[in-house]
Amino acid sequence: MNNRDTYAKCALDQIPRLLGNMDRNSFSPTYGCFHRDYWLDKTSDFPDAVRQFGVQALALVYSNKIPNNIYCGETKILEWAIAAMDYWCSIQHNDGSFDEFYPNERGWVGPTAFTTYSIIESYTTLYKAIPEDTSKRIKKAIEKAAYFIAKGDLEEDHLANHQAMACLAVWKAYRLLEDHNLLKAYKKLWKGFLDYHVSEEGWSREYDGIDPGYLSATVSFLAKIYQDNQDQEIKEVCSSSIKTCSYFSYPNGFYGGSTGSRNTLHFYPHGFEIFGNSIPLAQSVAEKMLVGLDQGKLVPPSIMSDRYVFYRVPEYLQSYLDYSERTSNTTSLPSEKNDLSKYFPKAKIWAKSNSKNYILVNAAKGGVVKVFDKSDQSLVLNDCGIIGQLKSGKIITSQWIDEEYEIIQNDDSCKILGRLNLVPSNKYFNVPKQILFRMFLLFLGWHPLIAHSLKGWIRKILMLGSRPVGIWFERKISLNGADVLIKDRIKSDANIHLRKLSVGDEFFVRYVPQSRYFQSQELGITGRKISDEKIKEINNFSDWVEL
């Protein structure tokens, strides 16, 4: 099997799983629904529209000859794909939106733009076989969804990849429906996306910083537009983004992770394959990540949750179909160079590559650092910073993006000074809270403005903003020849008492659904627990205490 076939295998292996999640009984009122928790297990009280993304995988395997593809040309696959599109229409709100996480969510991009794009692609592939009345219903639902997306971000989304997907969905709707109002809407959405793109550094904002996993997604979404809209501005954005993504392509074959604002480990390869023949670096990154995928690294569909496996399967099928034939005209990755030192002042990312190590630091996140030994391509240091627990039970950490951090960086060192922040994502539903939440959704969630305000409020609670406490930290990362030295110290300036404290290891604190998947590189990397004596010293409000 060549590396290209890895895309196909990773995708095709999951088709039975997708079909197992689908209601395939044509006499069922939920025929075509991919949300097994809803139609079979009865553990959900609404159908999650995002699962309908699976229809694109069915359309692709039905219509393409791929190695070991037993689904190509099968009548049942065609029937189920049409049923899935029809069911998508049936769960649409009157305003054109859909739900993902809870009833009456009316999500902008997550459930609406993503699924609209996948339905359009599936419809375009299969339209000749779709009954006329069903075809009209699907096109009408696409039109309603496209106009909903065209209204723009009403829920304080703050995610560049969502802005890019909104552009993709509306562009595809315009191409299908030939509605010039949608073309105008696309151009407006594109300008909105550019507000999130930091052109001089080649990255796009995910909440409050750079996230390499979602940056690869942005490249993928924009490249899909570029396939039939070869706007040079799109290519320029993708080219600079591909260059920045290359810094997060690690020597050991893994990608991204805790060095990003959203901790995502996934890599979207389709955009890199699309540009592989015109941008040599895109092919270099794509091949490095494809080898990693073949070796069981990255985040293959097989280890993803049922909600998100639906995204990845069509992405890999498209990557197989649009694979760029490898050439010798490639470009070295940053980690393969021996004299590189690069600092992104807006992203606050520091990359250093010498003959021995590849080092990547996200100073904006309090100095999260990864160090790789280039001789055996191994991860030798994975340090996500400081994490601890107060006597009140609240969790605090240095791994938080805070604009108040003081950062001093030069060629051989980086120092970060700031306060530890409370971790806000450790909040859970109990029965009374769940009842109150569902009552709110039942009585007020039908109102679009209230629904969007609620979504923005949830994001602020779980993901956004700084919550500093009265404990200061200082982290200094420096090079001593080929060695990497990390020095941490903290002090308390308020009546705050620590219960326990740890430094290093891999850990995540921001709530991001598409994160925290297990990777084998976590094994063998440990943190360091701070002794009770030192914690007592810190609690006595002394001067700086070395950790």
220, with CB counted inside 10 A (0-12, 13-18, 19+), is buried
**What is the pLDDT at residue 524?**
80
Beta sheet of 357-362, edge-to-edge order: 340-344, 349-353, 357-362, 368-373, 378-383
Q: How far apart are CA 176 and CA 166, in angstroms?
A: 15
CA dist 313 to 67, 100, 151, 271, Å?
15, 19, 29, 15
**What is the pLDDT at residue 185?**
97
Burial 395-431 (b: 16+ CB within 10 A, else e): bbbbbbbbeebebebeeeebbbbbbbbbbbeeeeeee
Question: Is 445 inside a domain boundary?
Answer: no
DSSP of 74-137: -HHHHHHHHHHHHHHHHT--TTS-B-SSSTT--BSIIIIIHHHHHHHHHHHHHGGGS-HHHHHH
Q: Are residues 390 and 309 in the same domain?
A: no
Question: Is 447 inside a domain boundary?
Answer: no
- Sign of dihedral through CA atoms 438, 442, 443, 445? positive
- Higher-pLDDT residue of 221, 304: 221
Q: Are residues 17 and 67 in the same domain?
A: yes
Which residue type does 538 have?
A: I
Q: Are residues 370 and 232 in the same domain?
A: no
Residue range 49-73: mean pLDDT, rounded: 97
DSSP of 124-182: HHHGGGS-HHHHHHHHHHHHHHHHHHHT---S---BHHHHHHHHHHHHHHHHHH--HHH
> pTM, whole model, 2 decimals?
0.93
Question: Is 474 inside a domain boundary?
Answer: yes
Contact 72, 90 (CB under 8 A): no
Count of structural domains, the chain:
2
DSSP designation for 73: T
Count helices and strands in the chain by DSSP H and E runs: 17, 17
> In angstroms, how far is CA 287 from the centroid of its own chain?
20
Residue 456 has pLDDT above 70, yes or no: no
**What is the pLDDT at residue 429?**
67
Its domain, for residue 214, covers 3-321
Q: Are residues 387 and 251 in the same domain?
A: no
CATH number for position 292: 1.50.10.10
Q: How far apart are CA 455 and CA 156, in angstroms?
A: 8
Q: How many CB atoms lie within 10 A of CB 533?
A: 8
Looking at 288, 321, 354, the residue that finishes a domain is 321
Residue range 442-450: mean pLDDT, rounded: 67
Residue 135 has pLDDT above 80, yes or no: yes
Q: Are residues 317 and 396 in the same domain?
A: no
**What is the pLDDT at residue 523?**
86
Looking at 269, 289, 321, the residue that finishes a domain is 321
In tens, the pLDDT along 339-393 reads: 999 999 999 999 999 989 999 999 999 999 999 999 999 999 999 999 999 998 8
Question: Is 125 inside a domain boundary?
Answer: yes
Show the tokens assigned to 88: 């998508």
CA dist 28 to 25, 87, 138, Å?
5, 11, 20
Residue 444: pLDDT band (50, 70, 90) is low
Closest CA to 34 of 42, 18, 22: 22
